[in-house]
Amino acid sequence: MFMDAHTKVFSLFLETLMELVVSHKDDLEDWLYVLLTRLLLKLGADLLGSILQKIYRTLDVVRDSFPYKSQFNVIIRFMVDQTQTPNIKVKVGTLNYLLGIAQLMDPSDIKYSNELDVGLAKIIAWTYEPKSPEVRKCAQQTLIALFNLNSSYCTSKLMTLPKLYQENASELVQKYLSNTTTPMKPRYSPNSENCSSNIGSSSKNRELIDPIDDSENLNPEDVIKSLRSTANAIQNYSFDSKDIRDTGEMDFATAGLEDSLSRLDLSIHLPHTNEPGDNLKSNMDGMSRAKKFRSLPRNLHSGSNCHQRSWSIAPRFHANYTFKRKRAVNYKKGGGVVFLLNGGSYNQYDGSNGDEEANLAMKDIILELQSVKTRTRSAERRASMSQLIRIAREGNNDILLENFRTVLRLLLENLSDDVGSTRALAFGVLTEMLKKEQLIPSFQAFTELIILKVLEAHKDEEKDVERAAESCAASMALVISPDMVIRVLNPIIKTGEFPVNRAAIKMLTKVNEHENNKEALSQHLGELMPGLLKAYDNQQSSVRKAAVFCMVALHQLIGDGLQPYLDGLNGSKLKLLNLYIKRA
């Protein structure tokens, strides 16, 4: 419903959502992350003013209904989620909401976490957002609000950040304390898309506070370019947590990773737990080292953004981690350029024998993935899987087709890896492969096995793995034969345990959402409805909710043909279901 394109339907949905939150807020706290993130992401769309006002009203209701601490943690988690790519409007809305929560929280509500460290670094980074002065101002206000909320904690965390971050944040807070004479608003007003200026309205104050306009210390364009180039370079390296535990110290064998600028960019993308007192190198030295990354072959960087934005689920970064080079393979469409980084040296192939080079690259990837049997080289396996994603997105899929069975077997084996980010990335590769029409027939013979693996992953303790599995299930529902999917899902819906049964219902809902599946669903309706009606009476509220949404999607596709199966429901359940059906 969050994605419904009809204005009237979405407007009714928001009204219903507000009533639902007010009435059942005690039961919905587990759903808070989904609720808040969907609302904030919706702010980034091109919507009518009336719809935007209703979204702001809904955010008001959410803010007043749930504990501020829980909302604060959700917003921080959303900000550091690497799978999210918020646009300017979403950044502004998120910062506005966080600002309001920070002004209402108690200092004791801020608890130490890796995500909060990364979130604080990201807020500071947004204070010199090059594309939007609005984001910069909102980030400045939010940072100041956090310092006002718990200055001792924020100060201690600031000391662990790179020097460039420390300077920007310190100057911002000091200028605010010395120049502002107006206290901050006691309450957040979401009805305004712009941040109200609590830092000072004069151009002089803005020049002092805004690092984008401050040319006295650093050239901002150079800083941003260095950040971007360093981020791209970092994508071609990884941390191996096992080796880290063995060595217990930082090995900066790779140029640029010892400097503050590259660590600064790393802190944006990786959760970390640096302790106060870490030595911070000169940011100017960092910028000079970052230039070395820009001198790497351009093709080495290609596709790294795709990896970062979609499936780069990185391990946690501690101060005593040992940095390891990993083997990187870049496969370009049509046999372009292939780079292999092995043992610290680059091997470049000019693409004259494209098929041969592609096969060599694939053999190297397969060889690396096989190390899952010994539970070693998890970082290198993640690197190889990210290269598979790149091949699936940009390359000729013939190479994947030729090695399909081997790649699929190794990906499924990596789902049992001890590292959660490795398991999640394996699902990411499967998801990308499912998007390629050329590979779909090869999946048909393994449908049951893959679906069972995907559903079982919903029991994983790592939320990133669960989200990756859910995305993979949605992709399968789009492309696999509905008869085959229904045959696998139906017994799980009837007899499966939580949360596997809920995942099966959600996957069936995705099948229901496609008009082309109408005939197949009509034929299997008699088999599906008993399981869905049983799930509607499940002890778990999330299972009941999933069953309702699934039946609503079925009704939208099949219509009144569903009604005979609903006659056995009691009055209240039937009334609630009909309410959702009418508003769908």
What burial letters (b/e) apply to 47-70, b meaning 16+ CB within 10 Å?
A: beeeebebbbebbbbbbebbebeb
The predicted model gives 3-13 an average pLDDT of 74
Secondary structure of 46-73 in HEC code, one letter for each residue: CCCHHHHHHHHHHHHHHHHHCCHHHHHH
Percent of the chain with pLDDT over 90: 10
d(CA 321, CA 258): 12
Q: How confident is the model at residue 265 (pLDDT cuts 50, 70, 90)?
A: very low
Q: How confident is the model at residue 577 (pLDDT cuts 50, 70, 90)?
A: confident
3-state DSSP call for residue 157?
A: helix
Q: How confident is the model at residue 3 (pLDDT cuts 50, 70, 90)?
A: low
Q: Is the pLDDT of residue 339 over 80?
A: no
3-state DSSP call for residue 348?
A: strand
pLDDT tens, residue by residue, 121-165: 888 888 877 778 888 889 888 888 888 887 777 777 777 777 777
Q: Is the pLDDT of residue 207 over 50?
A: no
Question: Looking at residue 247, what is its pLDDT?
Answer: 36
Q: Which amino acid is at 571?
A: G
Question: Looking at residue 316, what is its pLDDT?
Answer: 30
d(CA 63, CA 277): 37
Question: Looking at residue 437, what is its pLDDT?
Answer: 87
pLDDT tens, residue by residue, 413-441: 999 888 888 899 999 999 999 988 888 89
In terms of phi and psi (left: phi > 0; alpha: psi -120 to 50; beta: otherwise), the region of 323 is: beta
The predicted model gives 301-305 an average pLDDT of 35
Question: Looking at residue 313, what is its pLDDT?
Answer: 31
Q: How confident is the model at residue 358 (pLDDT cuts 50, 70, 90)?
A: confident
Question: Looking at residue 395, what is its pLDDT?
Answer: 66
Range of lowest pLDDT (5-19, 58-72, 92-106, 158-172): 158-172
Question: Looking at residue 354, what is its pLDDT?
Answer: 55
Paired tokens of 524? 């299997």
Paired tokens of 318? 């501690």
Which carries the bigger pLDDT value, residue 243 or residue 506?
Answer: 506
Range of lowest pLDDT (308-317, 369-378, 518-527): 308-317
Question: Looking at residue 512, what is its pLDDT?
Answer: 85
Q: What kind and span of H or E run contains 509?
A: helix 500-512
For the chain, give the mean pLDDT: 71
d(CA 138, CA 347): 46
The predicted model gives 177-191 an average pLDDT of 46
Cis peptide before 107 (omega within 30 of 0): no
Q: Is the pLDDT of residue 335 over 60?
A: no
Cβ neighbours around 112 below 10 Å, total: 10
Q: How confident is the model at residue 5 (pLDDT cuts 50, 70, 90)?
A: low
The residues near 97 (Cβ < 8 Å, ≥ 6 apart) are 36, 40, 59, 63, 71, 75, 188, 190
Q: How confident is the model at residue 248 (pLDDT cuts 50, 70, 90)?
A: very low
What burial letters (b/e) apply to 488-504, b meaning 16+ CB within 10 Å?
A: bbbebbbebeebbbbbb
Q: Is the pLDDT of residue 51 over 70?
A: yes
Is residue 354 within 8 A of residue 336, CB to CB? The reply is: yes
List the beta bridge partners of residue 342.
Answer: 345
Which carries the bigger pLDDT value, residue 124 or residue 276?
Answer: 124
The closest alpha carbon to 17, from 64, 53, 67, 55, belongs to 55
Q: What is the DSSP string of 415-457?
A: TT-SSHHHHHHHHHHHHHHHT-GGGHHHHHTTHHHHHHHHHHG
Q: What kind and span of H or E run contains 238?
A: strand 238-239
Residue 339: DSSP 8-state: E
Is residue 252 within 8 A of residue 286, CB to CB? The reply is: no
Q: Let me know the angle formed at the C-alpha of 391 by 430 and 307, rounded to the nearest 5 degrees.
A: 75
pLDDT tens, residue by residue, 445-468: 898 999 999 999 998 888 889 999
Environment class of residue 165 by beta-carbon count within 10 Å: exposed (0-12), middle (13-18) or buried (19+)?
Answer: buried
The predicted model gives 37-58 an average pLDDT of 86
The predicted model gives 259-277 an average pLDDT of 35
What burial letters (b/e) apply to 332-358, b meaning 16+ CB within 10 Å?
A: beebbbbbbbeeeeeeebeeeebeebb
pTM of the predicted structure, to 2 decimals:
0.44
